[in-house]
Structure 1
Amino acid sequence: MLKKIRLLIIASILGLLALSLIQGYLINNTYKQKKDVFISETRKAISRLDDFSPSLDKMNDVWQDHFLNIIADYYVKKISKSTVLEKLNSITDSINDTYIKNYNKELLNKNIGYNLKFQKQVKTIILLDSIRNDTIFNSKLKSSFRLLGEEFSIKEGHKVSNSLWMTDHNFQRLVNGKEKSITFNLQFETEDRMNIEGWEKIVLRKMTSLLILSVFIFLLVFGLLYYSIKNLITQKKIADIKTDFVNNITHELKTPLATLTLATKMLKTKEIISKQGIFENTVNTIERQNIRLQKLIDQVLNNSLGYQEIQLQKELVNSKKYLNLIVADFQLSLDSKSIKFHKSININQEIFIDKFYFTTALLNILENAVKYGKEHLEINIFSKTDENFIILISDNGIGIPKKEQPFLFDKFYRVGNKEVHNVKGLGLGLYYTNQIIKAHNGIISVESEVGKGTSFTIEIPLN
């Protein structure tokens, strides 16, 4: 059964991981789709904004007119290619601040709803000729440069659109002292780019409901899985405890019942009836076994009480006298003389307890120390006062495994090793002890190490 549970847990974890990966993949795909839609909608909203704005269009006309004159100078070889680019930069830089302000005004009119930067980059500048084209600038050979707009890197931005300006231009220039009319064709390609501040957060906000739903479904599946496995393990544990209890109680009842059966048969024989002494001994045996059976039944009934059901009759008791008396009486009840007791009970503290129930709790711990002890057993009893009254009972017995300690005070629970199960018991003693301490508004805890012993600490309020 335990092997099946382990396989179920492994299969559940693998299934949960697979579900997480699938869900992560779907969320990632949705994120990419939302991002593409968002970028596309923004691109559509600002596409060719400068072409349809009178103020921006007018500013474009200004730098374009100046640039045509610069190209004319280049065409007649008055300036170099590098000078063309320098002069173009100089013109656009002079109007760029005004251009940005006007562009932002147009963005406000569009009511975009988030911060956005825009720039126009130069891709190619080519003089077209029927014989040979003259490339003044090509971004494939040299990185593109910003014509207008705000500064940001290519990686930070997204492409909006490409614009291709084709024009043929006539101009008058002095060539070798003579004024000539010259015509050239110009190809000027630009790329509009945008930078959306915090676009990742904007896309994630658009996915908020999906993310919340995904997390909720994941947590729900994980919670149901955890709850199911926990219930399965708990049910197995309860079944094991019940089986153990039935075996223990059966074993405990078997001996007195067998004795009663034998004694009853003996009473039916004429030889026993005729002999007064043997007859009386047999009757006494039946009575003793009857009392033993009654005690077993009472133990199951009484020790199964919860702390809410225990009716305490509290009284003030001197802790030193009370504890010393309990230890002394317990020592007298032991058959073995090899068990050593070390006491440190010197505090005359008045404690408010029910003597009958509290004594039962302490005796249960002491009896367990003897039951699960070993040769040369030593038991230490120590008391002190702090904020509470504290009793410490420790031994050098066989100890309790760490994994068993959290269940030590559960009803019917017995430590699952062969050495401990050689000792008779119903698994109710420590449960009952815990309930008694709880009824006194106290707590009991255990520390133990296999082969080194066990220590129980009881704390109860001083008032």
Structure 2
Amino acid sequence: MRKKIKLLIIASILGLLSLSLVQGYLINNTYKLKKDVFISETKKSISRIDDVSPSLDSINDVWQNYFLNVVADYYVKKISKEDVLIMLHKKTDSINNSYIENYQKEIESKNIGYNLKFQKKVKTIILLDSLGVKNDTLFQSATKPSFLLLGKNFSNKDSHNVSNSLWLTDHSFVREINGKRKSVTFNLQFQTEDRMNIDGWEKIVFRRMTSLLILSVIIFLFVFGLLYYSIKNLITQKKIADIKTDFVNNITHELKTPLSTLTLATKMLKKEEIKMQPKVIENTINTIERQNIRLQKLIDEVLNNSLGYQEIKLNKETVNASDYLNMIVDDFQLSLDSKEITFNKNIIINAEIIIDKFYFTTAVLNILENAVKYGKDNLNIDINVDAKKDFTISIKDNGIGIPKKHLAFLFDKFYRVGNKEVHNVKGLGLGLYYTHQIIKAHKGEVFVESEENKGSTFTVIIPVK
């Protein structure tokens, strides 16, 4: 049975991990989809700003016309290729602030709702001759990093591509060549890439996924809680079944001895030779009476000690704590046959407590009997009392102790420590349970501290008033 429970727990954990992995995979896919949709929406909203905005269009005309004249100078070999790029940089730098300002106004007019930066980068500048046969590459991003034309500067790693634009134009110009004014035409291919940077786009995407993430967490916690509850219930039921089985075995063992004696005594009384011996008959009847009392005590122990604290009806009275406890310990000490048990009492205290003497005495005696049952040779029992705040009784022994794993269940009904050495002691597992119920009925608490081979300490705390 225990092996089956372990296999069930392992299978449940593996199932939960599989569910988590599937859920994580679906959330990741949803995140990617939401991200793509968000980026696509943003691209769509800004993709044609350059084309539809008069202010931006006029700024673009300024640098484009200027650049055509610069290329014309290069075409007739008045300036170098490097000069073309330097002069383009200078021109776009001079108008860039105006471009950014106007672009930002266009974005605000669209009510996008988040901070967005834009840039236009140069990818290729190619000059073609009039026949389109011989190309002159002024700039190529394949060999050099693309450079900023207009907009804000940010890295490609933090940005997204919006679009690629290709500007093709044939330009005619007049220049003085070898002292003569001549009209010359060239074809220009100017390719740019538009990119955007969105501040905190990850947070925006996650915000759009909030309901999904919350639902996923709730479902996961629900499944985890259900699994935990089911396994816990299964383990609890297994423990209850074991405890009940243990109790049945114990009560059967306890009942067998008096029943066997009664059977034997009854058979003896039926014999003719016994009937002629009054002394034997009297002894046999006394034996039957003793075993009958023993059976009655066993039944009473099961019935009375099984009561819960709600069912215990207290008849409280005020007693002197010191006199009352000294009387209990003295009477208990007199009932012991062993001379190897030493009682160390520290119960001289001037305090009164309100208790049910019958029930509270039973509780204290159960703890003392427990200490004696599970004691060692030369057993020492220390009894200390304190009434500074609440009334506290501490009963400490140097017995065999209790393993830590059993402490949490020590006050459960029918529970007995699963230890061969301990199970050599007779009992039904009801004494400490009953003690706990009595203390709870007095609105108090009982605790236990123990260490194997070093002993145990039971502490009872009840309100003074």
- TM normalised by structure 2 equals 0.96
Structure 1 residue 453: Cα displacement: 0.8
Work out which of the residue numbers 305, 308, 311 in structure 1 matches 2:307.
305
Structure 2 partner of 1:31: 31
User: Matches of 1:60 and 1:291 in 2, distance apart?
Assistant: 113
Structure 1 residue 370: Cα displacement: 0.8
1:88-108 deviation per Cα after TM superposition (whole angstroms, max 9, x unaligned): 222222222222222222223
Structure 1 partner of 2:86: 86
Residue 316 of structure 2 is aligned to residue 314 of structure 1: yes
User: Matches of 2:302 and 2:216 in 1, distance apart?
Assistant: 50
Work out which of the residue numbers 444, 452, 455 in structure 1 matches 2:454.
452
Q: Counterpart of 2:95 in structure 1: which amino acid?
A: I
User: Matches of 2:315 and 2:80 in 1, distance apart?
Assistant: 111
Structure 1 partner of 2:76: 76
Work out which of the residue numbers 339, 343, 350 in structure 1 matches 2:352.
350
1:175-217 deviation per Cα after TM superposition (whole angstroms, max 9, x unaligned): 3333222222111110001111211112112222222222222
Structure 2 partner of 1:117: 117
Structure 1 residue 407: Cα displacement: 0.3
User: Matches of 2:81 and 2:418 in 1, distance apart?
Assistant: 92
User: Matches of 2:18 and 2:389 in 1, distance apart?
Assistant: 52
User: Matches of 1:77 and 1:136 in 2, distance apart?
Assistant: 13
Structure 1 partner of 2:442: 440
Identity of aligned residues (%): 75
1:100-155 deviation per Cα after TM superposition (whole angstroms, max 9, x unaligned): 22222222333323221111111111111345322222222221121111222111
Structure 2 partner of 1:417: 419
Structure 1 residue 223: Cα displacement: 1.6
1:212-266 deviation per Cα after TM superposition (whole angstroms, max 9, x unaligned): 2222222222122111111111111111001000011111111111111122222
Instruction: Return 91-100 or 163-172, whichever deviates more.
Output: 91-100
SS at match of 2:362: helix
User: Matches of 1:323 and 1:75 in 2, distance apart?
Assistant: 117
SS at match of 1:337: coil
Instruction: Return 39-48 or 173-182, whichever deviates more.
Output: 173-182
Instruction: Return 400-409 or 195-204, whichever deviates more.
Output: 195-204
Residue 119 of structure 2 is aligned to residue 150 of structure 1: no
User: How big is the alpha-carbon RMSD for the aligned residues of Structure 1 and Structure 2?
Assistant: 1.5
Structure 2 partner of 1:335: 337
User: Matches of 1:214 and 1:287 in 2, distance apart?
Assistant: 70
Uncovered stretches (5+) of structure 1, i.e. residues with no partner: none
Instruction: Return 380-389 or 396-405, whichever deviates more.
Output: 380-389
Structure 2 partner of 1:3: 3
SS at match of 1:50: helix
Structure 1 residue 77: Cα displacement: 2.5
User: Matches of 2:133 and 2:205 in 1, distance apart?
Assistant: 51
Uncovered stretches (5+) of structure 2, i.e. residues with no partner: none
Structure 2 partner of 1:288: 290
Structure 1 residue 456: Cα displacement: 0.8
User: Matches of 2:57 and 2:73 in 1, distance apart?
Assistant: 25
User: Matches of 2:21 and 2:328 in 1, distance apart?
Assistant: 63
Structure 1 residue 353: Cα displacement: 1.4
Within 5 Å, give how 1:210-229 maps onto structure 2: 210-229=212-231
Structure 2 partner of 1:430: 432
Structure 1 residue 169: Cα displacement: 0.9
User: Matches of 1:249 and 1:337 in 2, distance apart?
Assistant: 30
SS at match of 1:51: helix
SS at match of 1:10: helix
1:327-378 deviation per Cα after TM superposition (whole angstroms, max 9, x unaligned): 1111110111111111222222212211111111111011011111111211
Residue 56 of structure 2 is aligned to residue 56 of structure 1: yes
Q: Counterpart of 1:351 in structure 2: which amino acid?
A: I
Q: Counterpart of 1:126 in structure 2: which amino acid?
A: I
Within 5 Å, give how 1:400-411 maps onto structure 2: 400-411=402-413
Work out which of the residue numbers 257, 266, 271 in structure 2 matches 1:264.
266
SS at match of 2:113: coil
User: Matches of 2:313 and 2:29 in 1, distance apart?
Assistant: 65
Structure 1 residue 386: Cα displacement: 3.4
Structure 1 partner of 2:381: 379
Work out which of the residue numbers 356, 364, 367 in structure 2 matches 1:365.
367
Instruction: Return 380-389 or 267-276, whichever deviates more.
Output: 267-276
Work out which of the residue numbers 189, 192, 198 in structure 1 matches 2:191.
189
